[in-house]
Amino acid sequence: MTFQQRLILLVTGLVLLAIAAVTTTMAWTTRAALTERIEAEARLTAGLLARGAAQARDIPQEVDALLSERLLSEATLTAHLVAMAEAAKQSPRAINDRLKQIAETGGPDEMWITDNRGRAYLHNLAGPDPVFGQDAKGGPRHGAYAGLLNRSPASVVSEPAMENGRLMKFAGVTGVDKPRIVQVGTDVRRLADIVRNAGTDGLIDGLLATRAVEGAWLLDRDGRVLARGAVMGDGAGGPLSDADTAAAKAVVPGGDVAIRVSGNSMLALAPIRYAGPATAAGSAAGVPTVAVVRVPYTEPGAMLSRQLKIGGLVGVLVLALGVYACVRFARDQMAPVERLGEAVKAVEAGRFNPFTLNEAADRDDEFGRLSRVFRRMAMEASAREETLDAQLVMRGAELETKTEKLAAAEQLIEEEQRAARDVQSNLLPRQLPVGRDSQFYGMLLPGHTVSGDFYDVVELDDRHSLLVTAGVSGGGVPAAFLMLMVRGAIREAARPGVGPAAILTLANERLCGESPFNGFAAVFVAVYDRVAGTLVHAAAGHRGACRITADGGVEFLTAAGGLALGVRRGAPYAEATVTLNQDETLFLCTDGVLRSIDGQREPFGEERLAAALAHSRGMSARDRTELVLRSVQSHVGADGLIAGDLVCLVMRRLLPVTEAAEAV
């Protein structure tokens, strides 16, 4: 290892170790602090909601009382204003203009002043003069104020009501100078919105608008929800669970805020304390007694992950900077070598000056010794130039010879690959069984390099068939040889009455004892009874066998079996049995299908295989095979990699269940 490499490893290793320790400590500390902060904010939010709910009970009544007092004051002022205007001999038109000006500059929205017979001859709105108590168009609003003409009562305040698309509230007083009605009204829709926003609904909406709260509820003592709100967009709008409701009912009145973690959320449950006479009412059914706030609890975990990622990025950055600094330092230390490089160029150009290496040759380290040696070599270069040219010619001839040998070796490798593919293709069954009870189809798509995968179907007798899929490790001629041994061993052991486990045992013993190569084979063997539909199977380090039901369901067969063939002599193998019903299918494939990866190094895997087979309902054996292979190629795309050969063997049972029972 060079000095430059040792320096880079030492500095960057120490820095990365320090960064990892500091990042881990800070990440866990930050997570604990963040959890405490979330809990404190949840307690505070729940307490605020509880106090707001207690105070919100009386807001509508207080607001209505204040508004009524204001309207009565404005009605009284209007009565005095009209009395003074008439005393000053102003015309009704001038008074109406003044009333309009008052309404436009922030006064009441409507002002009506009647004479002693109830006719509203003064008003700020255009239109006819209604008669209070008689004009049907005015409705109850006018009739309720008719008593003011007799000063009984002296003032009237009505409840808000919709009028001409506005939510109006009116108040009236008797005249100050003569019997008359002075009525003022204002649009309270905005005030009603303010009251609603200031109540429990507005309080909950305000909490949810911060996006820091997922949900808020007000519950009575029986656990019934009286008010609620939830942020639906984040997937956290679910209702309270039974356990959460039970925890809310268990909150002690007058106690502290309780904290409960529920899934990815944290719940704060605060008792609502009513002051004065409202305390008794607050304990009654139908009155909020518990405020529940749900806040997200995913931030600590996310923060921990983020801190670790940041630490990793900082580590990479520091590593890059460390490497850069070390390289710069090494370059400064390697300046004599650069001088030697310049001297080499000068020697090649025939203008070498020995004095240019004096500074480097005066050093006492390795660079100085190297400079002195090179200076002597450079001075002898002229005398040895002819010899060097001759050596170069000889080296060129040797290089040309080696190039020819390399081309021959490459051609030999290609021939071996071609021979291995020929062996592989010739070992595949040329014709699969055909009958009305079963449908077989097999396919092999060779990879870029031969991996020795194959499939086989052997007719044991007129009722039983042996199904085999196998993948051999390695490639080229060794893989083809191993494939030949595995296929021969299985076919030699395949006899009527011999189960899959026994076949694998015999094949394993032969491969362990006779194979000259250090390789292994992943094999799936199954004996299929075409009459009964039973399938006895065993696997040797193989996966990718599944059963497709008639309704499109996909069930992977149990991993009954043992180690791959050729790994260990005497390895035991187990077997399992499954029954294929009418129109059910057995799908077999080698590891090349499951291990093919896309551009993000994500393998095709069993989940994608099951998804592809689930869409093959009603397809033939061939169509299912082609669908799976298309799915693998689509997953791999242009940036992925096919993991060797792709082998699929599909068997679909066609015999109805009733006929199978009769045949047995």
Whether residue 452 is contained in a domain is answered as yes
Q: Averaged over 49-65, what is the pLDDT?
A: 74
- 30 pLDDT tier (thresholds 50, 70, 90): confident
Query: What is the share, in percent, of the chain residues with pLDDT greater than 70?
Result: 84
Higher pLDDT, 314 or 588: 588
489 has a pLDDT exceeding 60: yes
Q: What pLDDT score does 518 carry?
A: 78
Higher pLDDT, 122 or 452: 122
Whether residue 54 is contained in a domain is answered as no
Whether residue 349 is contained in a domain is answered as yes
Most confident listed range (29-38, 103-112, 283-292): 103-112
Q: Averaged over 517-523, what is the pLDDT?
A: 85
Whether residue 252 is contained in a domain is answered as no
* C-alpha span between 261 and 295 (Å, rounded): 10
- 136 pLDDT tier (thresholds 50, 70, 90): very low
Contact 30, 310 (CB under 8 A): no
**Do residues 474 and 609 both lie within one domain?**
yes
**Do residues 523 and 658 both lie within one domain?**
yes
**Do residues 518 and 622 both lie within one domain?**
yes
Q: What pLDDT score does 642 carry?
A: 84
Query: Nearest to residue 548, comparing CAs of 604, 605, 613?
Result: 613
- On average, the pLDDT of the chain sits at 80
Q: What CATH number did the domain enclosing 171 receive?
A: 3.30.450.20
- 280 pLDDT tier (thresholds 50, 70, 90): very low
* C-alpha span between 233 and 211 (Å, rounded): 10
Which residues are paired to 181 by β-bridges?
Answer: 174
Lowest mean pLDDT among 78-82, 307-311, 335-339: 335-339
575 has a pLDDT exceeding 90: yes
Q: What pLDDT score does 603 carry?
A: 92
Instruction: Point out the domain boundary residue: 193, 220, 247.
Output: 193
Provide the residue count of the chain: 664
**Do residues 371 and 491 both lie within one domain?**
no
Query: Nearest to residue 525, comparing CAs of 467, 571, 576?
Result: 467
610 has a pLDDT exceeding 70: yes
155 has a pLDDT exceeding 60: yes
Most confident listed range (128-142, 256-270, 357-371, 402-416): 256-270
Q: What pLDDT score does 278 carry?
A: 45
Whether residue 629 is contained in a domain is answered as yes
- Give one word for 481, left, alpha or beta, with left for phi > 0 and alpha for psi -120 to 50: alpha
Whether residue 228 is contained in a domain is answered as no
Instruction: Point out the domain boundary residue: 163, 193, 223.
Output: 193
* C-alpha span between 573 and 560 (Å, rounded): 8
Q: What pLDDT score does 572 carry?
A: 93
Lowest mean pLDDT among 309-323, 353-367, 551-565: 353-367
Q: What pLDDT score does 628 carry?
A: 92
| Full domain range(s) for residue 98 | 61-193
**Do residues 502 and 375 both lie within one domain?**
no
- 421 pLDDT tier (thresholds 50, 70, 90): low
Q: What CATH number did the domain enclosing 480 receive?
A: 3.60.40.10
**Do residues 348 and 488 both lie within one domain?**
no
**Do residues 465 and 599 both lie within one domain?**
yes
**Do residues 471 and 619 both lie within one domain?**
yes
**Do residues 477 and 618 both lie within one domain?**
yes
Whether residue 351 is contained in a domain is answered as yes
- 664 pLDDT tier (thresholds 50, 70, 90): very low
**Do residues 504 and 374 both lie within one domain?**
no
Q: What pLDDT score does 660 carry?
A: 45
Instruction: Point out the domain boundary residue: 176, 193, 210.
Output: 193
* C-alpha span between 606 and 157 (Å, rounded): 76
**Do residues 460 and 371 both lie within one domain?**
no
- Per the structure, how many domains does the chain have? 3
- Percent helix, strand, coil in the chain (nearest 5)? 50, 20, 30
Whether residue 375 is contained in a domain is answered as yes
**Do residues 358 and 453 both lie within one domain?**
no
